[in-house]
Amino acid sequence: MSNVTVVGVQWGDEGKGKIVDWLSERAEIVVRFQGGHNAGHTLVIGNQTFKLSLLPSGVVRPGKTSFIGNGVVVDPWALLDEIERVRKQGVAITPDTLRIAENVVLILPLHGEVDRLREEQRGDRKIGTTGRGIGPAYEDKVARRAIRLCDLADAETLDWKLDELLRHHDALRRGMGAAPIDRAELRAKLMDVAPKVLPFAEPVWMTLDQARRAGKRILFEGAQAAMLDIDHGTYPFVTSSNTVAGQAATGSGLGPQATGYVLGICKAYTTRVGSGPFPTELTDEVGQGLGDRGHEFGTVTGRRRRCGWFDAVMVRQALRVGGVRGIALTKLDVLDGMKEIKVCVAYRLRGATLHHFPANMTAQAAVEPVYETIEGWSESTRGARSWAELPGNAIKYIRRLEELVGVPIALLSTSPERNDTILVSDPFAD
């Protein structure tokens, strides 16, 4: 049996939460390996809807152990709020069910403040961050001045690190016209939260290694998606971490051989939140209709998502970069009732035809989609649980997407409900 790594292959919001939850029935361990509490996952289980931001999707399933790996940045106050929120929904989260890498970097209040200050000063050139401090926390990690979870257990180290951290941030804040950080207040907040979060801390890499050696099935869960990857996405309109499957190894502390089968999640159309290029974006009534039928609002921010046709060029590139072996296609039902559906099969740029998404920011904004038109279907696909229940034209659409991106469909999701899923091939058995 293989381990499985789940990653988004568009701009996020592809429905990873439901797919991870569905796959978690076959796994024993679920690991979140990058990102912060800027990434939302919505799970519909029976008559309850869980909206998770930082917690791995596996926490809502009894008998599963969830891990937050070292590649994640953790806001300890947001974490505790989320734990309390799901507790009120009947799910108790304890150190027995959730473990956090002792070397995760912490998101502090100052990170959110500088995040929002920068966005304000960018004016009409905003990147579109959530303002929750994820980017600034990763900056401090790379610059070797971050506070990590393990530091909360060592007051002497914490004091030294606070001095290093504030030396940078106070200078940065002065440049933006903001007041310096109240060091005593920040230290007091950290001392207060320490006993609440330290019980979850452990050397996660060691525990996961032991689990792998014992033959336990591990499910690695990514946040955001490939086109928001700091290296491979639409830079600078990206997140601040690597989102592709290779990060599952680094962000969990396990070697690349442990990440197993890579499953890419994508919608049957395309959405994006925030700023940045979007070649197939539809600003007309068709795009509005996709957004309305697909309930396209951000789980974390509530922002309306931009909508457009499926971009096979972009998805194919994400699949290659991410080493994806199979696709979980979601939200096919949103296309029900459309007479015709378009798919981007190439780009035009200054008279040339491109079959890849260029890296240059100006070129990304200038490419024009080349469309292929596919006949739609009038029947409903919502809730289908077998190929036999799908309209013929819907199957033709799926098969054409497979041809265009070069990777087979492994799973098909036909509604937010967990069991409305068609399994074509089991990633854990591959």
- Residues with catalytic roles: 13, 41
Strand partners, 264: 7, 327
- Provide DSSP, 75-96: -HHHHHHHHHHHHHTT----TT
Angstrom distance (rounded) from CA 54 to CA 70: 13
Beta strands 409-413; 326-330: pairing state: parallel
3-state DSSP helix/strand/coil % of the chain, to nearest 5: 40, 20, 40
DSSP code of residue 282: -
The DSSP bridge pattern shows strands 4-8 and 48-52 to be: unpaired
Distances (CA, A) of 16 to 85, 293, 329, 396, 413: 21, 19, 10, 24, 11
Rounded-to-integer distance, Cα 222 and Cα 57, Å:
10
Q: Which two tokens stand for residue 261?
A: 């089968």
With beta carbons less than 8 A apart as the criterion, state whether 15 and 271 touch.
no
List phi, psi (to 5°) of 408: -75, 155
The DSSP bridge partners found for residue 72 are 35
Nearest to 227, CA basis, from 283, 287, 273, 292: 273
Rg (CA), the chain: 22
Residues whose CB falls within 8 Å of the CB of residue 335, separated by 6 or more in sequence, listed in order = 268, 269, 341, 376, 377, 381, 394, 397
